[in-house]
Structure 1
Amino acid sequence: MLITTDNNCGKDIEKDFLPDLNLIANKKISDLILEDNPNLLIFPNDLNQTCDKISEEHIFSLDGSILTTGNIMGFVGINNTEITIHSRFAKNNNDYFLHYMLQKVFSINLFDLKHGINNESVFDFLLYMFPFYLKKALRQGLYKEYHKQNYNDSNVRGTIDINRHLRKNIPFIGSIAYRVREHSFDNKITQLIRHTIEFIKQHKYTQGILNLDLETQTFVNQILQVTPSYEYGQRISIVNKNLKPFSHPYYFEYKSLKKICMQILRYEGLKYGKEKDKVYGLLFDGAWLWEEYLNTFLIKCGFNHPQNKSSKGAIYLFKNLIGKRFPDFWKENFILDAKYKRLAGKKAENIDRNDMNQIISYMYVKTAQIGGFICPSDDDEFRAEKTNIGQLNGYDGEVSIWTLSIPQQTSSFFDFCSKMKENEKLMIDILER
Structure 2
Amino acid sequence: MKIIKVKDNSTRASDEFRAIPNITSSILDKNVSKLEETGIFVFPNSLKEQESITADQFILNKVGQEYRTSNIMGFLGYNEENLIIESRFSEGQQDYFFQYLIENVLKIPYVIDLNTIIDQDNKIIDLFIFIFPYYLKQAMRKGLFKQYTRNEYNNNNIKGTIDIQRHIKNNTPFIGNIAYSQREFSYDNYMLQLIRHTIEFIKKRKEGAGVLNSVRNEVKEIREVTTSYNHMDRNKIIVFNNKRPIRHAYYKEYRELQKLCLTILQRHKHYIGNGKEKIHGILFDGAWLWEEYIDTLVSTDFYHPKNKDGSGSQRLFSRHLGTKIGLVYPDFIGRNQENRIIADAKYKPIQNIANRDYLQVLAYMFRFDSKIGYYFYPNHKETRDEVLYLNQGISYERNVQMREDIKVTKLGLAIPKEVENYKDFSKKMKKAEKAFLAKI
Shorter-chain-normalised TM-score: which range?
A: 0.7 to 0.9
CA distance in 2 between partners of 1:409 and 1:241 (Å): 51
- CA drift at 1:370: 0.7
Structure 2 unaligned spans of 5+: 394-402
- Pairwise mapping of residues 166-315 of structure 1 onto structure 2 (< 5 A)? 166-203=168-205, 206-213=207-214, 216-227=215-226, 229-232=228-231, 234-243=233-242, 244-248=244-248, 251-273=251-273, 278-301=278-301, 303-308=302-307, 311-315=310-314
Aligned to 2:426: 417
| Map of 1:340 onto structure 2 | 347
Residue 306 of structure 2 aligns with an amino acid whose one-letter code is: Q
1:402 to 411, 414, 417: 411
Residue 398 of structure 2 aligns with which residue?
Answer: none
Relative to structure 2, which stretch is displaced further, 367-376 or 263-272?
A: 263-272
1:149 and 1:51 map into 2 onto residues whose CA distance is 41
Contact kept? 2:34, 2:48, Cα under 8 Å? no
Q: Which residue matches 1:73? A: 73
Deviations 1:384-420 (A, max 9, x none): x642022343775211101011112222322222222
TM-score by length of 1: 0.84
SS of 1:148's partner is strand
State TM-score, norm by structure 2.
0.83
How far apart are the structure 2 equivalents of 1:327 and 1:164?
Answer: 63
* Contact 1:2 1:84 survives alignment (8 Å): yes
User: In the TM superposition, what is the alpha-carbon distance from 1:72 to its structure 2 partner?
Assistant: 0.9
**Whole-Å Cα distance in 1 between the matches of residues 159 and 349 of structure 2?**
68
| Aligned pairs for 1:56-71 within 5 A | 57-62=57-62, 66-71=66-71
Higher mean C-alpha deviation, range 61-70 or range 284-293 = 61-70
CA gap 1:59/1:211 in 2 versus in 1, 3 angstroms:
closer
CA contact (8 A) 2:156 2:178 kept: yes
CA RMSD of aligned residues (A): 3.1
Structure 1 position 87, deviation (Å): 0.6
* Deviations 1:165-212 (CA, angstroms, capped at 9, x unpaired): 4454354322222222223333221222223223323445x3432353
Q: Which has the higher contact order (CA 8 A, sep 6+)?
A: 1
Q: Higher mean Cα deviation, 157-166 or 279-288? A: 157-166
What is the alpha-carbon distance in structure 1 between the residues aligned to residue 147 and residue 406 of structure 2? 56
Aligned-pair distance for 1:222? 4.1
Distance (Å, rounded) in 2 between the aligned partners of 1:55 and 1:247: 27
The residue aligned with 1:375 is: 377
1:103-129 superposed Cα distances (whole Å, 9 cap, x missing partner): 2212x2626566636435565332211
Aligned to 2:435: 426
Provide the rounded CA distance (Å) in 2 between the counterparts of 1:168 and 1:25: 55
Alpha-carbon spacing, 1:257–1:22, altered in 2? closer, same or farther (3 Å)? closer
In structure 2, relative to structure 1, the CA distance for the partners of 1:14 and 1:162 (3 Å cut) is closer
Is contact 1:33-1:40 (8 Å) kept? yes
Give the residue type in structure 1 aligned to 2:347: Y
Aligned to 1:265, what secondary structure does the other structure show? helix
Distance 1:291 1:53, change over 3 A: farther
SS at match of 1:186: coil
- Cα offsets for 1:350-373 (capped at 9, x unmatched): 743221111111112222101131
Unaligned runs of 5+ in 1: none
Counterpart selection for 2:128 from 126, 129, 142: 126
Provide the residue aligned with 2:392 in structure 1. 393
Deviates more, 1:17-26 or 1:352-361: 17-26
